Amino acid sequence: MERLDFVLAGHRPVQAFEAILVGVVGSGNLEVLVEPGDHPASCTFLINTSAVGFGAIWEAVVKGFQARHQLCGVSVSINDMGATPAVVSLRLDQAIASVPFLKAPAS
């Protein structure tokens, strides 16, 4: 198992929200838990994955995700059982679907 940690800056604040969980820690799958986070200007990603040695790919996946969504004040925790990046991205998108963004500031 490998533990990965990323803190990525973002600029779209969110309203208070209840934790959101999608997915299951099953073979080739993962769970994504999205919660309000402690960093007002960034989004934290904490990943436990069964597959060792794919840190660079994880980094690319979460950076791509953060580039699209620009989350801040949000924490994303992932438990992964060997999901492919395709599944990871899908789960992240599913999880973020119910996050209540404040109106995106003009940027």
Which residues make up the interface to other proteins (CB under 8 A)? 1, 19, 21, 24-29, 31, 33, 35, 48-51, 54, 56-57, 60-61, 64, 77, 79-82, 84-87, 89-90, 93-94, 97
In 3D, which of 26, 69, 27 has the Cα closest to residue 45?
69
Select 71 or 81, whichever has its Cβ closest to other proteins.
81
Distance of closest approach, residue 10 Cβ to other proteins, in angstroms: 20
- What is the Cα–Cα distance from 66 to 45, expressed in whole angstroms? 10
- What is the Cα–Cα distance from 17 to 6, expressed in whole angstroms? 22
Select 39 or 51, whichever has its Cβ closest to other proteins.
51
* Residues 45-84: b if buried by 16+ CB within 10 A, e if exposed: bebbbeeeebeeebeebbeebbeebbbbbbbbbbbbbebe
Distance of closest approach, residue 57 Cβ to other proteins, in angstroms: 5
Select 14 or 61, whichever has its Cβ closest to other proteins.
61
Distance of closest approach, residue 107 Cβ to other proteins, in angstroms: 19
- What is the Cα–Cα distance from 93 to 96, expressed in whole angstroms? 5
Distance of closest approach, residue 11 Cβ to other proteins, in angstroms: 21
